[in-house]
């Protein structure tokens, strides 16, 4: 079933208006790093170093910030184990898995079409 933007707007008054929380959530999940971190975690639980290698080019500071934001949004779960050195694992929450079921087809579409689109006038 196809859903139009008009149907979404009609279903909830003032959705996507300036100051609406939907804009904040969209910014978090559709940001350059947000979508890449969520995509990496869609394959399962990862430790910090594994996640950093999966998301090529992300700085430690940006990875930490992105994970903090996505965890605060309820999309990513952070589990810390008491050990030396510290052992921390990241995974998607049920809400994050639900999101990625919908978002991964978009990620696949981008992967399939990006090369032919990049650099077009």
Establish whether the linkage from the previous residue to 19 is cis, with ω within 30° of 0.
no
CA–CA gap between residue 103 and residue 71 (Å, rounded): 18
Instruction: Indicate the number of domains in the chain.
Output: 1
- Which of 9-18, 44-53, 66-75, 106-115 is predicted least confidently? 9-18
**Could you tell me the CATH number of the domain that includes residue 96?**
1.10.10.10
Answer yes or no: is 59 within a domain: yes
Q: What is the pTM of this model?
A: 0.85
74 three-state secondary structure: coil
Domain that holds residue 63: 16-112
- Domain membership of residue 72 (yes or no) is yes
Regarding beta strands 76-81 and 46-47, do their DSSP bridges make them parallel or antiparallel, or are they unpaired? unpaired
Place of tokens 């810390």: 80
Q: What is the pLDDT of residues 44-67, one digit of tens each?
A: 999 999 999 999 999 999 999 999
């Amino acid at each position: 079933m196809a859903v139009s933007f008009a149907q979404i707007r009609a279903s909830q008054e003032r959705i996507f208006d300036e100051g609406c929380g939907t804009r904040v959530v969209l910014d978090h999940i559709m940001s350059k790093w947000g979508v890449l971190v969520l995509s990496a975690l869609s394959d399962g639980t990862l430790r910090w170093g594994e996640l950093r290698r999966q998301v090529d080019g992300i700085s430690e500071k940006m990875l930490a910030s992105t994970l903090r934001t996505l965890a605060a949004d309820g999309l990513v779960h952070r589990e810390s184990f008491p050990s030396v050195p510290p052992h921390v694992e990241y995974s998607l929450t049920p809400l994050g898995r639900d999101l990625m079921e919908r978002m991964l087809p978009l990620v696949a579409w981008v992967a399939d079409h990006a090369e032919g689109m990049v650099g077009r006038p």
